[in-house]
Amino acid sequence: MTTQQLHEQILQKKSFLCVGLDPDLDKMPQYLLETEDPIFEFNKAIIDATHDLTVGYKPNTAFFEAYGIKGWMSLQKTINYINENYPEIFTIADAKRGDIGNTSSMYAKAFFEDLNFDSVTVAPYMGKDSVEPFLAFENKHTIMLALTSNEGAFDFQTLNTNGKELYKQVLETSKTWKNSENLMYVVGATKAEYFADVRKIVPDNFLLVPGIGAQGGSLSEVCKYGMNDKVGLLVNSARAIIYASKGTDFAEKAREEALKVQQEMADIIANK
């Protein structure tokens, strides 16, 4: 998928919502646990109930890997289900990968070719040759951690490096990499005031924004500082939507929560 297609989908759906798929057996309705593949059934129900309100789904690979081979099979079924039934949806493998060049090539193959995701999240610590193998894939997108939404973000990401915070150096350096136009960045919503600084460095790239919902970030604040003329944001919400109810109505309640966010987004787009 091209960023132009993603932008068109945003305008059509009046939404820049991405739903995080963090399937946790402990948080699902009881009856699903009796099915053959509870994780897939859960995801499928969430996807069917929300696909017209969201432009992206972001399966979090940890929540699949924790269940071993069975979990990896559920991940494959989930991405296949989205690609077959809702091909307009932008898919993100939230995997936070990154390693030396030949290893990163194998991760890129895993997520872009074997699983056929549109994008994957990567960590920047190992630098240029750990990220460029991902960037080499045409019409695939590499979403690099810049400033994350967790408490530990302040351990290293905001350290002063030669007069600027590390995350700003990460943004600046990454712009010099080959095929850097295929980069998007993770910028956490819990620190809306940082978005103005981020936009000075990467005015055009899409930003994937976790931290809305369960983690407490404000959507309007993020949009005020982070939107560009192509919207340029994918705001992720996982727990607040997918675990809105633990009853048999979980998909319906997930839709209600997604609709609230989508309506707020439609207003923001209209008033821009």
User: Site residues (CB under 8 A) for a second copy?
Assistant: 22, 24, 60, 62-63, 65-69, 71-73, 76, 94, 96-104, 106-107, 109-110, 114-115, 123-131, 145, 148-157, 159-162, 166, 169-170, 173, 210
Question: DSSP letter at 36?
Answer: S
Q: Is 243 helix (H, G, I), strand (E, B) or coil?
A: coil
**Residue 156 phi, psi dihedral angles, 5° rounding:** -125, -35
User: How distant is the alpha carbon of residue 146 from its chain centre?
Assistant: 13
Q: Is 12 exposed, middle or buried (0-12, 13-18, 19+ CB in 10 A)?
A: exposed
Task: Kindly tell me which of 30 and 161 has the beta carbon lying closer to a second copy.
Answer: 161
Asked if residue 59 lies in contact with residue 79, where contact means CB atoms within 8 angstroms, the answer is: yes
Alpha carbons 263 and 251: distance in angstroms, whole number: 18
Alpha carbons 39 and 36: distance in angstroms, whole number: 9
Token pair 């549109």: residue: 118
**Is 191 known to be catalytic?**
no
Task: Kindly tell me which of 11 and 25 has the beta carbon lying closer to a second copy.
Answer: 25
Task: Kindly tell me which of 68 and 87 has the beta carbon lying closer to a second copy.
Answer: 68
**70, 96, 128, 164: which one is catalytic?**
96
In angstroms, give the least distance from the CB of 47 to a second copy.
Answer: 20
In angstroms, give the least distance from the CB of 249 to a second copy.
Answer: 24
In angstroms, give the least distance from the CB of 76 to a second copy.
Answer: 6
- HSE-CB for 198 with a 13 A CA cutoff: 33
In angstroms, give the least distance from the CB of 51 to a second copy.
Answer: 24
Task: Kindly tell me which of 98 and 227 has the beta carbon lying closer to a second copy.
Answer: 98
Kindly list the catalytic residues. Answer: 96
